[in-house]
Amino acid sequence: MADNLLAAYFKPKSKNAQRPDALCLEDCARMIKTVDSAQKATAHFERVKTYLEQYPGDEDILIAAADILERTRIKTGMLETWAALQRRFPQNGHALRMNLRWLRRGKFMEEGFTLINTALPDRARDVAQGVVALLAYSEMQAFGEMDEMMAELLPLHPDDSKLRILYAKNLMRQNRFVDAHNVVKTIRHPERLSKTPKKIIAEIEEQAAFQQAHGGGDVVGLLGRLIARFQNRVPRPRAKNALGGVVFYTGQLGAGGAERQLTRIAAQLERIRVAEGQLNGVALRAPIRVAIRHTNAESGADFFLPVLQKAGVDTFTTINARKAEIEDLGLNDPEFEKLLTFLPADVLDNTLRLVPYFRANNIEVAYLWQDGGILTSALAALIAEVPLIITSFRGLPPNLRPDLYRPQLEGLYRNLASVPGVVYSSNSMAAAKAYSAWVDVPIDRFKVLYNALIPASTAGDDSDLAHWQRIQNVSADCTKTVLGVFRFDPNKRPVLWVQTAAKYLETHPDTRFIVAGWGNEFEKCQDMIEEWGLQDRIFLLGRSSHVGFWLEKADVLLHLARYEGLPNVVIEAQIARVPVVVTPAGGTDEAMIHNETGYCLDSNDAPDMAQTLGYLDKMLGDPDKARQMGEAAHAFAKARFSPETALNDTLRLFMNEPD
C-alpha cells in the first residue's frame, strides 16, 4: 500500500514554533536547484531531513522536501505525498499543481477536475484563484477548460495586464500564437508595460503573423494539415514474397496488454527469422526491430524489455538518440519546415529523432502502436518515405476516453486515411467501429487482428503460495472462488466489484472473492472490506505476476470494466477453462460467447447488480454447467486467440494482402 512519504514529519505545528530562517530556506532552494541526478537528490533529502526535524510541520520545509523527493525519481507514494500536502496546505498552489500532475500521470482525470472545483470554486471571477487555476489546468493539460475559465475571467478584469500576459504565455507554450495575440490586443496602455512583457508581445505578433498566413492559426489541426500534404505520395515498390525492414513503435514497454502483445509478436517473428528465414513462403530479409520513446525503469516503462532482449530483437530508444535539425531532413520546403516548429514539443522532438532511424535502417513497414505512439511517429514515417505505415488501435478511441484525449488526434487520423500506403488496424471490431465513427473513415479501411494469448503458467512464487495458504486457512469452509484481475482505478470499478462480492456473500457465505491488482482505489476497497468485517471472504492480493496460479484456483472470473479494448484477462481465463461474467465494454463481447463461455451483462455504463448476482449464482450453483462453459471457453479462446493465428494475420498485414 502506498503511503505519504513525509507522514513521519506531519507533526502539529505549535503556537511557539520557530520559523525557518532565511539561510535555511535559501539552502533548500539551492538543493532543489542543483539536483542533477537521482543520487544527488537522495543525498540532499538526507540533509533536508534535519530541517524537517528542526521545523516540524513547517509548510515551506515540507514542500521543499517533497520537491527533492520528486528528483529522486521515486514513483510509489508521490501521489499520496502531494495529496497529503495539498490537504494540509489547501492554499498552497504548488502543492495543488503537483497533486494534479500525479493524478494526470495516473490517469485520474475526474479526481483532478473535482479537486480544482473544490479548491478553487471562484476561479472564473477571482483573479488570485484564476491564476492558480490557470496553472492547475496547464498541469492537467486541460486546455479547453482553461479557455472556458479565462473567457469568463478576463472581461471581469479589463485592466489586469499581468493576467493577460500570463494567459498569453500559456497559449504560446501550446503554439497558439494567434490566440495569444488576440489576448494581448486587449491590454490597455501596452506602452506602459515593462521591457519583458513588451518582448513577449513582440514575439507573439511575429509568430501570429506567420500562423495567420498559413492556416489561420489552427494549431490543433496543424499536424493533420501536415499529414495531408502527403496525399499524393507514391510509396516505393516492395517485393511480393519478401519482407524487408520492419519496426514496431510504441511509447513505452510498461506492464500493459498492448505492450505484452507487441513484444510477444515481435519476439516470435525474430525467432522465426533467425531459425527459418521465412514464414509462410515470405522471406524475412531484415531483423525485426522495436523502437520505444523511453524505457524508464523507475516508472516500470521497461517491464517487457527483457522479453525483446532475450529474443534478440534490436531495440532503439528514441529519447536517447541523436536529434536531427529540421534543415537536415531534406524537405526542400521552407514553409513546411517553419510549420514543423509549431508542432507540440513531443511530436516534433520524436519526429527529429525517428526520421534518421527509419532512413538508416531502410524501414519499409512502420507498425505504430496506440494513440500516443501514432501521434508522435506517423509524420516521421511519412517524411522518411516508409512505404507501408500501419496504425494499431488498442481499445476505444480517445473521444470516449477523456484521460487519453489529445485534440491533434482527430485531424491526424482523418487525414492519414487519405494518404497512400497507410493501413488502419485494431484488435477488435468494436474498436474499429468506434474509431471509424469518430473520424468518419469507412469501416472497411480497418483490419482486425485479435490478440495472441498463450496459457498462463500455473506456477506461483513463495508470495503466491503464502497468500493462498492464508486464504485457505481463514476461509476453510468456502467451496467456491470468484477471481478478479484488474487495476484499482475507476475504469475497472474495483469499488463496485467489492460491493458486488459483499452483496453475494449475504446469501452465499460459502464463497470467497480474490482480486489480483493494484491502483489508486486499493486502500479504499481494503477499508470497505474491513468496515464490513469481510476479511475472511474478500481478499486483495496486490500486484501479482502469476495470474495463471490464481486462475487455477478460480471457478469464475468477474470483470466489471467501464471501458476496454480486448481484455486479455478475459481471454486468459477462458484458455484456463474458467468461465466469465463480464460487462460488454469495448471488444469484450468479441472475447467470449454469451451463454456459452460465460455471461455478458446488458450494460457497461450502468451494470445491473441483480443481473450480475444472478449470473454468478447460475454458474456457482451448477458445477456441471460451469464445467461445460469452461470447456467451451477453452476451445473458443484457443481457436480465436492462438499465437499462430496472430502471427499469420500480422504477416498478411505487413505484406498488405487483402482479407
Of the ranges 334-338, 352-356, 402-406, 451-455, which is most confident?
Answer: 352-356
Region 515-529: mean pLDDT is: 89
Query: Is residue 295 scored above 90 in pLDDT?
Result: no
Dist. CA 168–CA 185, nearest whole Å: 10
Arithmetic mean of pLDDT over the chain: 91
- pLDDT, tens digit, 9 for 90 and up, residues 210-263: 888 776 567 778 889 899 999 999 999 999 999 999 999 999 998 777 898 899
Longest CA–CA span in the chain (Å) reads 85
How much is the pTM?
0.75
For the beta sheet containing 580-582, the strands, ordered from the edge strand earlier in sequence to the opposite edge, are: 538-540, 511-516, 480-485, 556-559, 580-582, 598-600
C-alpha torsion 643→645→650→656, nearest 10: 170
Query: Is residue 134 scored above 50 in pLDDT?
Result: yes
Angle (CA) 551-557-563 rounded to 5° is: 120
- pLDDT, tens digit, 9 for 90 and up, residues 22-69: 999 999 999 999 988 889 999 999 999 999 988 888 999 999 999 999
- pLDDT, tens digit, 9 for 90 and up, residues 435-476: 999 999 999 999 999 988 878 788 988 989 999 999 999 999
- pLDDT, tens digit, 9 for 90 and up, residues 578-597: 999 999 998 898 999 999 99
Contacts of 336 (CB under 8 A, 6+ apart): 226, 229
Dist. CA 188–CA 234, nearest whole Å: 53
- pLDDT, tens digit, 9 for 90 and up, residues 582-638: 999 988 989 999 999 999 999 999 999 999 999 999 999 999 999 999 999 999 998
pLDDT at 1: 45
Domains 7-213 and 462-641 alike in fold: no
Query: Is residue 170 scored above 50 in pLDDT?
Result: yes
Dist. CA 403–CA 138, nearest whole Å: 14
pLDDT at 586: 85
Looking at domain 462-641, its CATH architecture is: 3-Layer(aba) Sandwich (3.40)
pLDDT at 298: 61
Helix axes 161-173, 195-213, angle to 10 degrees: 50
The domain limits of the chain are 7-213, 226-448, 462-641
DSSP secondary structure letter of residue 555: S
Upper half-sphere CA count for residue 173 (Cβ side, 13 Å):
11
pLDDT at 317: 93
**% pLDDT > 90, the chain:** 70
**% pLDDT > 70, the chain:** 97
Dist. CA 552–CA 373, nearest whole Å: 35
Count of CB atoms situated within 10 Å of the CB of 131: 19
Count of CB atoms situated within 10 Å of the CB of 71: 18
Dist. CA 346–CA 368, nearest whole Å: 16
DSSP secondary structure letter of residue 193: S
- pLDDT, tens digit, 9 for 90 and up, residues 62-121: 999 999 999 998 888 899 999 999 999 999 999 999 999 998 887 778 788 889 999 999
Region 497-519: mean pLDDT is: 95
C-alpha torsion 453→455→456→457, nearest 10: -150
Closest CA to 63 of 34, 36, 42, 32: 32
Domain 7-213 has CATH 1.25.40: yes
Task: Indicate the burial class of 27 (C-beta count within 10 angstroms; 0-12, 13-18, 19 or more).
Answer: middle
Closest CA to 161 of 190, 130, 136: 190
Task: Indicate the burial class of 344 (C-beta count within 10 angstroms; 0-12, 13-18, 19 or more).
Answer: buried
Dist. CA 379–CA 646, nearest whole Å: 27
Strands 278-279 and 282-284, how do they pair?
antiparallel
Residues 231/418, Cβ–Cβ less than 8 Å: yes
Closest CA to 363 of 247, 447, 477: 247
Query: Is residue 131 scored above 90 in pLDDT?
Result: yes
Dist. CA 290–CA 317, nearest whole Å: 9
Query: Is residue 380 scored above 60 in pLDDT?
Result: yes
pLDDT at 530: 95
Residues 420/235, Cβ–Cβ less than 8 Å: yes
Query: Is residue 508 scored above 60 in pLDDT?
Result: yes
Q: 34: helix, coil or strand?
A: helix
- pLDDT, tens digit, 9 for 90 and up, residues 10-25: 877 666 678 888 999 9
Dist. CA 192–CA 162, nearest whole Å: 12
pLDDT band for 311, please (50, 70, 90 cuts).
very high
Write down the CATH number for the domain with range 226-448: 3.40.50.11930
